[in-house]
Amino acid sequence: MDIAREVLNIVVVGHVDHGKSTVIGRLLYDTKSLPEGAIDRVKRIAKEKGKPFEYAYLLDAFEEEQKQGITIDTTQLQFRTDKRDYVIIDAPGHKEFLKNMISGAASAEAALLIIDANEGIQEQSKRHGYILSLLGIQKAYVLVNKMDLIQYSEEKFNAIKQEMNEFLTSLHVYPLKYIPVSAFHGENITASSDKMPWYKGEPVLEAIDLFEKDKGLEGKPLRFPIQDVYKFDSRRIIAGRIEAGTLRTGDEILISPSNKVTKVKSIEYWVEKDKVDQISAGMSVGITVEDEFFNQRGEFISHTYDAPITSDTFKVSLFWMGKNDLVKNKEYKLKLATQEVECEIYAINKVIDATTLENLENASQAKTNDVAEVTIKTKREVCFDEFRNNQNTGRFVIVDGYDVCGGGIVTGLAQERQSVSKFVKQDDEIIVKCFDEYYYVVTEGGIKKIEGVPHSFNIGDVIPSTGVTYEYPAEFNVVDIKTGLTAIIRKSKLQDIILLKHLTYEQSPFIDSQGAFVKIHSEEDFNKFAADLEKLQQAESSRTAAFANQWLDFMKFRQIRYLTATKSLEIEYQI
* Nearest-approach distance from CB 338 to another protein, in angstroms: 8
Q: DSSP string spanning 549-571? A: HHHEETTTTB-PEEES-STT---
* Nearest-approach distance from CB 360 to another protein, in angstroms: 23
Helix (H, G, I), strand (E, B) or coil at 307: coil
Count of Cβ atoms closer than 10 Å to residue 367 Cβ? 15
* Nearest-approach distance from CB 517 to another protein, in angstroms: 58
User: Measured in whole angstroms, how far is the alpha carbon of residue 171 from the centre of its chain?
Assistant: 12
CA distance 374 to 345: 7
Whole-angstrom CA distances from 126 to 15, 115, 408, 565 are 8, 10, 18, 41
- DSSP state, residue 208: H
Task: Name the residue nearer to another protein (CB basis): 100 or 375.
Answer: 100
Task: Name the residue nearer to another protein (CB basis): 178 or 396.
Answer: 396
What is the C-alpha end-to-end distance of the chain, expressed in Å?
Answer: 62
Cis-peptide into 257, omega within 30 deg: yes
Task: Name the residue nearer to another protein (CB basis): 197 or 401.
Answer: 401
Nearest CA among 172, 163, 166 for reference residue 137: 172
Residue 496 contacts residue 425 (beta carbons within 8 Å): yes
* Nearest-approach distance from CB 181 to another protein, in angstroms: 24
Task: Name the residue nearer to another protein (CB basis): 78 or 566.
Answer: 78
Nearest CA among 437, 468, 438, 440 for reference residue 564: 440
Residue 267 contacts residue 250 (beta carbons within 8 Å): no
**One-letter identity of residue 388:** R
Task: Name the residue nearer to another protein (CB basis): 239 or 503.
Answer: 239
- DSSP state, residue 453: P
Q: Give the CA angle between residues 232, 235, 238 to the nearest 5°.
A: 85
Task: Name the residue nearer to another protein (CB basis): 87 or 468.
Answer: 87
Task: Name the residue nearer to another protein (CB basis): 104 or 452.
Answer: 104
CA distance 212 to 190: 19
* Nearest-approach distance from CB 83 to another protein, in angstroms: 14
Task: Name the residue nearer to another protein (CB basis): 70 or 516.
Answer: 70
* Nearest-approach distance from CB 183 to another protein, in angstroms: 20
Whole-angstrom CA distances from 51 to 16, 18, 47, 69 are 19, 18, 6, 10
Given strand 85-90, what is the order of strands in its sheet?
75-80, 85-90, 7-14, 110-116, 139-145, 177-180
* Nearest-approach distance from CB 138 to another protein, in angstroms: 17
Task: Name the residue nearer to another protein (CB basis): 9 or 486.
Answer: 9
Q: DSSP string spanning 332-363? A: EEEEETTEEEEEEEEEEEEEE-TTT--EETT-
User: Measured in whole angstroms, how far is the alpha carbon of residue 443 from the centre of its chain?
Assistant: 44
Residues at the interface with another protein (CB under 8 A): 1, 3-7, 32, 35-38, 41, 44-45, 48, 59, 61-64, 72-78, 85, 87, 99-100, 102-103, 106-107, 227-228, 230, 232-233, 235, 237, 239-241, 268-271, 274, 280, 282-284, 286, 297, 321, 333, 335, 392, 395-397, 399, 401-405, 407
* Nearest-approach distance from CB 106 to another protein, in angstroms: 3
* Nearest-approach distance from CB 39 to another protein, in angstroms: 11
Alpha helices (H) along 346-445: none
Task: Name the residue nearer to another protein (CB basis): 300 or 557.
Answer: 300
Task: Name the residue nearer to another protein (CB basis): 171 or 239.
Answer: 239
Q: Is 226 exposed, middle or buried (0-12, 13-18, 19+ CB in 10 A)?
A: buried
Task: Name the residue nearer to another protein (CB basis): 19 or 322.
Answer: 322
Looking from the CA of 111 toward its CB, the CA atoms found within 13 Å total: 30
Task: Name the residue nearer to another protein (CB basis): 276 or 575.
Answer: 276
Number of helices (H), then strands (E), in the chain = 9, 36
